[in-house]
């Protein structure tokens, strides 16, 4: 790595789409991971969603050789812990009670996106240098820490070898076991769970709601206007302040439309709810949802069952339904481990967090085992009554 030069850049635009996407998608896949693409980061930053004014100051780390960017770490300097989905507020409180500042901190992440994917992009042999340089930047910027959230497992393991603290959590993902259609999926469930899902779907259908699956050029600015209304209504009640601006959705639609699935729930001529999904690499990622009217089970239908139907129709391998939510388990979404890595400069806090994380990893693994045993699928293919 003696020939490589590391530097920080203040925007995705400064890196450019060609260099960024060459690092994010070195194999040139036709349907790459949507959340590591330049277009997604550029939409976040240029729309004013992930910028210094919102507490997400871009300072992406790049490694260059012979003047060309070879690898990068998407990086943000932050003065809060919002929009991350890996919770470190207790660590912040502990350090501040000790008379030290936890903020600013550095965050290697896709803002507002709890989706596993590459975080150390580019050449694999550059990963140790990215990790070590990240630790150096913490000291240079007088930050407290560097947090790499939702990396690939291999990146997580390499971060551990580089002295980062290792954390695990879990999400709920639906896997396509070669289902022919939704009915085929239902047939794999236990009798009780199958009846429950059928009842939930029937109750939504009885309200007269119909669903549109919009992708590519079928998504118009009028659709984004309506979806943003749903998003802000729900986001205001959930977080107090929605993270994404209206301009973000237009930019996303202009640059990534053919990796977007917008599910819109319609009753009569009126759209009343919607769910934003992105897809790539054989996976459908559920991201944002909103509604302006409460109907029982509308959320489950719009976000989970419609996603399954689309995945089966497109031959996708998996649906990742976002963070948290044990209610997803009973609807066919099974627990999966997720990862994060953390470098904390303060030795005392690092020791305390390291001890805590060792116990937490054990608890997460036990929880995944327990939840898997409670899953909705038939335990015996000859289940009574089937």
Q: How far is CA 38 from CA 30, 41, 190, 277, in A?
A: 15, 5, 43, 18
**What pLDDT, on a 0 to 100 scale, did the predictor assign at position 134?**
98
Instruction: Decide: 74 and 106 in contact? Cβ < 8 Å.
Output: no
Residue 7 has pLDDT above 90, yes or no: yes
Interval 209-267: pLDDT, tens: 999 999 999 999 999 999 999 999 876 666 567 899 999 999 999 999 999 999 999 99
- Asked: is 177-316 a CATH 3.40.630.30 domain? The reply is yes
- Taking the C-alpha atoms of residue 150 and residue 241, their distance in angstroms, rounded to an integer, is 23
Structural domain spans, the chain? 5-169+336-372, 177-316
Q: Under a CB-based contact definition with an 8 Å cutoff, are residues 173 and 329 in contact?
A: no
In degrees, rounded to 5, the angle at the alpha carbon of residue 92 between the alpha carbons of residues 95 and 352 is 60
* pLDDT of 273 over the 70 cut: yes
Query: With 60 as the cut, is the pLDDT of residue 280 above it?
Result: yes
User: Which tens digit of pLDDT belongs to each residue from 136-178?
Assistant: 999 999 999 999 999 999 999 999 999 999 999 999 999 999 9
Collect all residues with Cβ–Cβ distance below 8 Å to 321 and sequence separation of at least 6: 171, 172, 173, 174, 286, 303, 304, 307, 328, 333
Among 63-77, 285-299, 321-335, which is the least confidently predicted range? 321-335
Return the CATH fold of 5-169+336-372: Aminopeptidase (3.40.630)
Compute CA distances 379 → 47, 51, 182, 197, 367, whole Å.
Answer: 48, 49, 20, 18, 19
Give the mean pLDDT of 358-386.
85
In the prediction, which pLDDT does 369 show? 97
Q: CA 133 to CA 333: how far, in whole Å?
A: 38
pLDDT band at 380 (very low <50, low <70, confident <90, very high): low
The answer to which of 30-44, 49-63, 306-320, 321-335 has the lowest mean pLDDT is 321-335
Confidence of residue 319 (pLDDT cuts 50, 70, 90): very high
CA dist., res. 354 & res. 92, Å (int): 15
Determine the pLDDT at residue 151: 98
Q: What is the mean pLDDT of residues 11-21?
A: 98
Same fold across 5-169+336-372 and 177-316: yes
Q: What confidence score (pLDDT) does residue 382 get? A: 42
């Amino acid at each position: 790595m003696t020939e490589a030069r590391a530097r920080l850049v203040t925007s995705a635009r400064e890196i450019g789409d060609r260099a960024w996407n060459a690092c994010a998608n070195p194999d040139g896949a036709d349907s790459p991971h949507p959340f590591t693409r330049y277009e997604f980061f550029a939409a976040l930053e240029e729309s004013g969603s992930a910028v210094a004014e919102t507490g997400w100051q871009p300072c992406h780390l790049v490694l260059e050789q012979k003047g060309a960017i070879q690898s990068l770490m998407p990086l943000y300097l932050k003065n809060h812990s919002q929009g991350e989905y890996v919770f470190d507020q207790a660590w912040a409180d502990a350090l501040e009670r000790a008379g030290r500042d936890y903020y600013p901190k550095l965050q290697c992440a896709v803002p507002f996106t709890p989706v596993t994917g590459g975080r150390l992009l580019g050449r694999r042999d550059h990963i140790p240098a990215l990790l070590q340089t990240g630790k150096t930047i913490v000291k240079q910027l007088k930050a407290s820490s560097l947090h790499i959230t939702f990396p690939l497992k291999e990146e997580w393991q390499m971060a551990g070898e580089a002295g980062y603290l290792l954390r695990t959590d879990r999400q709920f993902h639906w896997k396509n076991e070669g289902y022919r259609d939704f009915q085929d999926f239902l047939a794999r469930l236990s009798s009780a769970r199958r009846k429950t899902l059928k009842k939930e779907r029937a109750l939504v259908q009885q309200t007269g709601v119909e669903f549109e699956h919009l992708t590519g050029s079928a998504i118009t600015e009028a659709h984004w206007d309506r979806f943003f209304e749903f998003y802000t209504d729900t986001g205001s009640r959930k977080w107090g302040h929605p993270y994404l601006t209206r301009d973000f959705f237009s930019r996303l639609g202009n640059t990534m439309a053919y990796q977007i699935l917008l599910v819109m729930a319609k009753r009569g001529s009126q759209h009343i709810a919607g769910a934003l999904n992105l897809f790539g690499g054989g996976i459908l990622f559920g991201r944002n949802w909103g509604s302006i009217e409460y109907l029982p089970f509308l959320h489950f239908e719009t976000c989970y069952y419609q996603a399954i139907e689309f995945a089966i129709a497109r031959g996708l391998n998996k649906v990742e339904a976002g963070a948290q939510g044990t209610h997803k388990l009973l609807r066919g979404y099974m627990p999966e481990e997720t990862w994060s890595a953390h470098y904390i400069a303060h030795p005392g806090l690092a020791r305390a967090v390291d001890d805590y994380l060792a116990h937490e990893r054990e608890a997460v693994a036990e929880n995944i085992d327990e939840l898997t045993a409670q899953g909705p699928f038939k335990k015996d293919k000859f289940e009574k009554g089937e």
